Structure 1
Amino acid sequence: MARFHFISGLPRSGSTLLAALLKQNPRFHAGMSSPVAGMFAAMMGEMSERNEFSVFIDDAARQRVARGLFDNFYADSEAEIVFDTSRSWCARLPAVAELFPESRVIACVRDMPWIIDSIERVIRSNAFSPSSIFNFSTGGTVYSRANGLASSDGMIGYAYDALREAYYGPHADRLLLLRYETLTTHPKQALAAVYDFIGEPAFAHDFEHIQFDAETFDRRAGTPGLHTVRPRVAAEKRQSVLPPDLAARFERDAFWNQQGLNPRGVRIV
C-alpha cells in the first residue's frame, strides 16, 4: 500500500515543477493538481449531518471511506510513495494528520507580486482564449483580475489564507515551505531538503532534462501554457508586467520572509 505526502501552497509557485522533478524517481508518483481534494470535500459533505442517513455514519466510518478514496484513486499506480497536489490540503491538515499520521506537506511559496505577474503573463499570451481562472470572462483589467485573484475565494487569496492557517496552526510540524526562488536557483538543495523532510533516501535528479505534459488540461481550461514546465531548471530574470502601484500593494505579503513571524518553527527552504 502506497504512503502519501502532499504538495500544496500558492499557485504559480513551482508545484508543477516540483512534481515533474519528483516523478523522475521511479518510487514516486507526482503530478499537477488532482481531483482527490475536491472529491474528499464532496464526500465529507455528503457524510455530514445534512444527510438524513448520517445517523448511521460515525467518524470511524468517515475515515475508512476517506482512506478508501485515496487507495482506490491511486490503485493503478505502482509507486511506493504518492504525492497528491492541491492548494486546499493546507486547510485540511487536521484530517490529513488523522488519515496519514506519517505524511508531510510541501507548500510551495513565492512573492505575491510575481505570482500575479505570472498569471497575468499567461492571460496576455492567450489574448483570444478566455480563461477558466476568470470564469471565461472577456472583460476586466489587470487591476480587476488582481483583485479577483487576491479575494478570499480567489485563486490566490484562498490558497494564501489556507497556507497561513497551516503555518500558524497546531499541525505546522508536518509543513515545509519551499520557496520558488530556491527551487529555480538551487534545485539540488531544494530537493535534498524535501527528501530529508519526508525521510527518504536521496535520488540523483536530472535538472537539465525535465518532462511534463498538461497541454490537454490547459487548453480545456482556456489557459494554454498554465502548467508548462521548461525542460531545464533555471531562474528567469524579467521585468514585471504589473503596474508599479499594483505590485506595491502585495510586496509585504510574504510573511514567511519576516523575522519573528514563525512561532512554530516551520522549516523554510
Structure 2
Amino acid sequence: MSFHFITGLPRSGSTLLAALLRQNPRFHADMTSGLGSLVSGAMQIMSPGGDVGSTVSEKQRKDILRGLFDNYYQSLTDRPVVVDTNRQWASRMTLINRLFPEARVIACVRDLSWVVDSLELQVRNNPYHFTRLFGPNNQGTVFGRAEALMGHDALIGRAYTGLKEAFYGEHSASLLVIEYDLLAKAPQKIMPLVYKFLGEPDYAHDFENVEYDAPEYDEALGVSGLHKVRPKVEFLSRRTILPPDLFKRFQGMEFWRDLNATQANVITTKPANSEENSTDDLR
C-alpha cells in the first residue's frame, strides 16, 4: 500500500478531488480522516515531556507513526493507493518525507475571498442554528465570522499559513498546488496532470456522475451540505454574498502564483500579463 496526501484551503476542491480519485479502482480517497489527529496525539505523547517521551527511541517513534498509517487503513480498503486528506499535512511535510519518501502532497487552493464567501454561504444555508465552525462570540455578523476564520489558528488562517510553509519549504518539490477554478472548469485537463505528478497511469473519469456526500459529519458540525459534491463537475459563476469591502480585504493573497522561491508544482492561472491558463503541463 502506497500513500499520498491531499491538503490545502477549505472550500477549495479537496472533497471534489477525492471524489474523482475514488472513481479509480486503484485509489482509496475520502474527506478528512481521523489519521491526522491520531498522528498529532501520538507525537505529543512521544515528545520530550510527554507520557513516554523518555522511553521510546527515535526509531521506535518512526515505526509507531508509520504503523498508524498502515493500521488505520488496513481494514478500510484493499486498494493499493491511499490518498489521505487533512489540512494539517501541509505543515507536516518533513514528517511525510521521512515516513514516505515517495509520497506526494496535493494542495487545493482558491482565492481567499471566495473561500470566505463559500463558508459564509454554507452558514446562511443553515439559518436555524449556530455552526460549530465558530465560537459563541463569533456568530453575530459576517464581519466577525470572516475575522474568526482568518485567525492564525482558525479554519482558514491555519490552513493558509501551513500551506505557505509547505510551498516555500525544503520539500516543496513533492507538492502540487491546484486552483479550484481550473479543476472545476477543466477536470479533463487537470486529472491527467494529477496522475503524472503521482506517477500513476491515467484513468478515464466520468465527470458527469461524481458521487460524494457526508451528511452525518456535516450535520454534526451544524453545516449541512458542506461536503456534498454535485454529480456534474462544472464551475458555477455567481455574485459574492460578502459586502464589497470585506471581499476586497482578502484579495491578492495568492502566494502560490509566484514561482520564484519554490520548487512546487503549480496548476494555476498565469500572471495578469498572460491570457492563458497554465493547464498544459506541470511547472
Under a length normalisation based on structure 1, what TM-score does the superposition of the two structures give? Answer: 0.96
Q: Shift of the alpha carbon at 1:66?
A: 0.4
Residue 248 (str. 1) matches residue 248 (str. 2): yes
CA contact under 8 A between 2:45 and 2:51: conserved in structure 1? no
| Match of residue 226 from structure 1 | 226
Q: Which amino acid is the alignment partner of residue 170 of structure 2?
A: P
| Match of residue 3 from structure 2 | 4
CA contact under 8 A between 1:131 and 1:137: conserved in structure 2? no
| Match of residue 135 from structure 1 | 135
Distance in 1 separating the partners of 2:38 and 2:183: 30
Q: Shift of the alpha carbon at 1:16?
A: 0.2
| Match of residue 202 from structure 1 | 202
Q: Shift of the alpha carbon at 1:188?
A: 1.2
| Match of residue 266 from structure 2 | 268
Count of aligned pairs between the two proteins = 266
Q: Which moved more, 1:167-176 or 1:132-141?
A: 132-141
CA contact under 8 A between 1:10 and 1:110: conserved in structure 2? yes
Q: Shift of the alpha carbon at 1:262?
A: 3.4
Q: Shift of the alpha carbon at 1:136?
A: 6.0
SS in 2 for 1:25: coil
| Match of residue 144 from structure 1 | 144
SS in 1 for 2:74: coil
| Match of residue 21 from structure 1 | 20
Residue 93 (str. 1) matches residue 62 (str. 2): no
CA contact under 8 A between 1:130 and 1:138: conserved in structure 2? no
Q: Which runs of 4+ in 1 moved over 3 A?
A: 135-139
SS in 2 for 1:133: coil
1:1-269 aligned within 5 A: 2-51=1-50, 53-76=52-75, 77-135=77-135, 139-258=139-258, 261-269=259-267
SS in 2 for 1:82: strand
Under a length normalisation based on structure 2, what TM-score does the superposition of the two structures give? Answer: 0.92
SS in 2 for 1:209: coil
Distance in 2 separating the partners of 1:52 and 1:155: 29
SS in 2 for 1:56: coil
Q: Shift of the alpha carbon at 1:49?
A: 1.3
Among the aligned pairs, what percent are the same residue? 45
CA contact under 8 A between 2:33 and 2:85: conserved in structure 1? yes
Distance in 2 separating the partners of 1:137 and 1:222: 16
| Inter-CA distance 60–193: structure 2 relative to 1 (3 Å threshold) | same
Q: Shift of the alpha carbon at 1:53?
A: 3.7
| Match of residue 275 from structure 2 | none
CA contact under 8 A between 1:136 and 1:222: conserved in structure 2? no
